Structure 1
């Protein structure tokens, strides 16, 4: 064990040229992901070929396949980034709300007033282009939604406990969390993908959150 530790400690740092190549690889990866994100959202997943993604990213098709084995792999990577960003935004709202319903309200505001209008490409990919794209993608979507629902569920239980109450049943928090994420998804899809009502998202979000808060209060004894 000590020998391994010694080898790690004596590993020489990367040279400047190696660091430069590492930065270039990371930048190239981000460029490819950005190109795929734009094309998936604008043209649709099926119409966005690997050749077109490579051309938009200004890399060779061979370089694109060096980073991703296929288009499905690209979509899964994008979904992971979108899911991480969304969980991070909503999770921060829950944590900063001092275990009150204000955290639920703030999370809703962030989703409708920050995430939706500022990340329309992510909305299109997450709620439209990733649907029905095979078992691998669907499993990844489910994993992300399960985590989001669990985040909301845990937040609801903490709020309930902090307020000295209890839910109507053992399933109440899970039912509410699933309903909240389902409502967020449907409202985003209906008002940003089916039609452009981005200018009204603030009002839509306020109505949705008022509805959600009322439901939470109804189920908490």
Structure 2
């Protein structure tokens, strides 16, 4: 099997095991078993469980960051931009709620390296939103960053809650509700020429 395909296979198996048992409950033996490879093959690609977890986390955060950046860049109409950004959260969690859980519900959030990577992801996304807010309004950078954090937090928390009630509220409806709530607040800060 080509190296990249094997790596993807191992990451997929690791995700299954980490989601089922958390980092601390997962073992390299079980990951190898789920991947249907020997432990030496697993160790050829990842020196340990921590490195495997971090590689999986990084892959998911990169994919999610790309999706969020596309949403921010999708239009210059801020109402549509807010909607697209919040919808990106919902689409990502609808597509793979287990990946989302690895990012935001990890049993390693208190670990400095894991927590630091997740905080950097959150901070980067909040800065991207803040840059748009600051360039469109007269708000100082610090205030725009508070708004960026608030919008990102609103999208993240509501999407995490929604995933458990997706049968009751369709994704489009939930995303639209949160987008309208966010827009009503953000629209109070009009664009300045």
TM-score category of the 2 structures, normalised to the smaller one: 0.7 to 0.9
Q: 5+ residue gaps in structure 1?
A: 1-22
Match of 2:115 among 125, 138, 163: 138
Deviation of the 1:131 alpha carbon: 4.2
Is 1:67 matched with 2:37? no
Could you say which residue in structure 1 is the equivalent of 2:100? 123
Match of 2:148 among 174, 177, 180: 177
Match of 2:11 among 33, 38, 41: 33
Aligned partners of 1:130 and 1:137 also within 8 Å: no
Matched ranges for 1:72-83 at <5 A? 72-83=50-61
Is 1:166 matched with 2:138? yes
CA distance in 1, matches of 2:73, 2:109: 33
Provide TM-score, normalisation by structure 1.
Answer: 0.77
CA distance in 2, matches of 1:132, 1:108: 23
Aligned partners of 1:75 and 1:137 also within 8 Å: no
Q: Using a 3 Å threshold, how does the CA distance of structure 1 residues 61 and 48 change in structure 2: closer, same or farther?
A: same
Q: Using a 3 Å threshold, how does the CA distance of structure 1 residues 57 and 80 change in structure 2: closer, same or farther?
A: same
Runs of at least 4 residues off by over 6 Å: none
Is 1:156 matched with 2:133? yes
Q: Using a 3 Å threshold, how does the CA distance of structure 1 residues 109 and 44 change in structure 2: closer, same or farther?
A: same
Aligned partners of 2:89 and 2:156 also within 8 Å: no
Could you say which residue in structure 1 is the equivalent of 2:166? 198
Deviation of the 1:130 alpha carbon: 5.1
Query: Residue by residue, what CA displacement relative to the aligned partner does 1:29-63 show, whole Å, maximum 9, x if unpaired?
Result: 11000111122223322222111001111111122
Q: Using a 3 Å threshold, how does the CA distance of structure 1 residues 101 and 93 change in structure 2: closer, same or farther?
A: same
Could you say which residue in structure 2 is the equivalent of 1:84? 62
Query: Residue by residue, what CA displacement relative to the aligned partner does 1:140-165 show, whole Å, maximum 9, x if unpaired?
Result: 1112112111222223334x1xxxx4
CA distance in 1, matches of 2:97, 2:177: 21
Could you say which residue in structure 1 is the equivalent of 2:84? 106
Q: 5+ residue gaps in structure 2?
A: none
Deviation of the 1:185 alpha carbon: 2.3
Higher Cα radius of gyration = 1
Aligned residues: 189
Is 1:212 matched with 2:182? yes
Aligned partners of 1:72 and 1:137 also within 8 Å: no
